[in-house]
Structure 1
Amino acid sequence: MAKISIRYPLVELLTGYLFVHLYLFIQYRQESPCLFAGYLALCCALIISTFVDLEFLIIPNEVTCVGIPVALVLSVLCPGLHHEPETLRSFSLSGIIRLDALIASLLGVLVGGGLVFFCSVVGKWVFRKEAMGFGDVKLMGMVGGMVGWKLAVAIFFVAPFFGLLMGIPVLLLKKKHLIPYGPFLSLATLLCILLQDYFLGLMNSYVQLFTVLFTGFHS
């Protein structure tokens, strides 16, 4: 009889827990069920990416290359992902709700993926070796497409704290020099979704600050 790895029941339990937690989160905030579906899809993609990255040090294209267009389509079908009036998630550019949501999703893909790509290029130049794989770039592009550019920026800056918290002990105990970054991005994504009011408020404050500084500099 083949031995069943502990990983499989662990993944099942984690998936079930996150599904219930997200459902209660949406119910508590009295958000649209459509938003729950979007976060659920993202959660599934993050779980798959995390465990594959932990074992094989890759993030499968089957997740990210499918996830990015899915995020764009969901932004049109469920514009509340990016534009919910009278909330910190509001985004209005054209005045057409579904178009605004699509634009917000595209910005999320570009900003999320672009930030990680920039770090990858700089890291390779500084350390003379690959610092981040392109899988991380696509993963953050997918995440940004689902949560928007502001939360994508917040996730980008939160993820390194998980990296320090969990990566340093691994380096010290196991002497491993290659640590997958995808799990840290996934943890940061879940945290920023659950605490989105805080992080969106923080991002809005920074946007206002930079706007004032920029306009003051050019006045």
Structure 2
Amino acid sequence: MFHAIMLPLVFVIGALVGSFANVCIYRLPWEKSVIWPPSCCPGCLGWIRASDNVPILSALWLKRTCRSCGIPYSGRYLAVEILVAVLFTGIYVIELMAEPQFMREPELMERLARVAYHASLATFLVVATFIDYDYEIIPDSVTVTGMVVGLSVGTMIPGIRPVPAGAETAIGGLGVGLLGLIVGAGVIYAVRVLGWVLFRKEAMGLGDVTLVAMIGSFLGWHVTPLTLFLGAILGLVHGLIRLATILRERLTGQSPRSSAIPFGPYLSLAALILMLGWRWLWPEWLAELFEVYSEVARFLLGALLGRIVGG
């Protein structure tokens, strides 16, 4: 009975947040307020009445057109609302329904808090994805705000992050978040510098640096190198498809589209995959992998210190 009530409620909340995400995607690149003025039609510039601004339902009822002037709206507004609603619902299913034994106090409240925490990260990632896809930038207003949320909630609720990034005290929660932020930014910034040294061009934008720093502040440092690795694989697949399309356009005499591929969407998708699958990935595979890497790192560090001391 509890899930029968909560699932539709979470979906509705996700659709509402998705509607606000659309506002952020449209306005933040232009440094406009996301609060005022109210949403308006891009054609007639008339304010959209509240009854025509109900997420998902209004778009379907009005067939994605303005009631006043009849101009069609982009289908992406509806897609973003549905996407965020589905993500919220999926997070709820994974956090509460995958392990039904957590239906008692206080475990239930902790799980609900984690649903809200992960849903917040998912929202920031969706906003960053579409802005980066449109403009090839990721505004600090998205990522820095996300860092503040990740650090603040992780400090107030130290155990909210997934294993092994949980903590028992507020100071520990803050420390885990800061470590994740620093490692996340450092990993991407190192790739950025390496790309400049090897190819004399930017391999990563500063927006990618702050994006992974935000992911680290939410989920801990273990997720950040995996986000880069998985994001690179996802980007490579799309890059190969894009390359084949460009070659086909050149061979057929068509004007080729831009070959630039923003990396933010793939980092965001990788982070979402890891966040949703972490409860199975960590105990089944990743914990052992990180243990092996830790042993190798300790061996290399010991060897390096031995040579320094011996030399």
Instruction: Point out which structure has higher relative CO (alpha carbons under 8 A, 6+ apart).
Output: 1
Alignment TM-score > 0.5, same fold: yes
Q: Which of 200, 205, 227 is residue 155 of structure 1 equivalent to?
A: 227
Q: Write the distance in 1 (CA, Å) between the matches of 2:131 and 2:145.
A: 16
CA distance in 1, matches of 2:297, 2:137: 38
> Which residue does 1:4 correspond to in 2?
73
> 2-side partners of 1:158 and 1:57: how far apart?
20
CA displacement, residues 14-51 of structure 1 (integer Å, 9 cap, x when unaligned): 11110100000110244621111111110000000001
Counterpart position of 1:25: 94
Structure with higher Rg: it is: 2
Alpha-carbon shift at residue 103 of structure 1 (Å): 0.6
SS in 2 for 1:146: helix
Q: How does 1:127-206 map to 2 (within 5 A)?
A: 127-174=199-246, 175-197=257-279, 198-199=281-282, 200-206=286-292
Gaps of 5+ in 2: 1-69, 103-109, 247-256, 307-311
Alpha-carbon offset, residue 207 of structure 1: 4.3
- Which residue of the other structure, out of 144, 149, 156, is the alignment partner of 1:77? 156
- In the TM superposition, what is the alpha-carbon distance from 1:52 to its structure 2 partner? 0.8
Following superposition, the deviation at residue 203 of structure 1 comes to 4.7
Structure 1 stretches lacking a partner, 5+ long: none
For residues 215 and 141 of structure 1, what CA distance do their matches in structure 2 show? 25
**TM-score, normalised by the number of residues in structure 1:** 0.88
In the other structure, the counterpart of 1:15 is 84
Is 1:126 the counterpart of 2:198? The answer is yes
Q: Verify: 1:117 aligned to 2:117, yes or no.
A: no
- Name the CA distance, whole Å, in 1 between partners of 2:300 and 2:191: 25
1:100 corresponds to 2:168: no
| Contact 1:32–1:80 under 8 Å retained in 2 | no
31-40 or 52-61, larger mean C-alpha shift = 31-40
Identity of aligned residues (%): 32
CA distance in 1, matches of 2:224, 2:300: 22
Contact in 1 for aligned 2:165/2:220 (Cα 8 Å): no
| Aligned counterpart, 1:213 | 299
CA apart distance, 1:165: 1.4
Q: In structure 2, how many angstroms separate the alpha carbons of the residues matched to 1:210 and 1:103? A: 25
Amino acid of the structure 1 residue aligned with 2:120 = A
Which structure features the higher share of helix residues?
A: 1
- Which whole-Å deviations, capped at 9, do the CAs of 1:46-104 have from their partners, x for residues lacking one? 0000011111111122101211122110111221233x7xxx32556xxx522111111
- What is the match of residue 44 of structure 1? 123
Quote the Cα distance in structure 1 between the aligned partners of 2:301 and 2:266: 36
Name whichever of 49-58 and 188-197 sits farther off. 188-197
SS at match of 1:165: helix
Aligned residue identity for 1:118: A
Q: 1:172 to 1:18 in 2, by over 3 A?
A: same
Q: Which moved more, 1:111-120 or 1:201-210?
A: 201-210
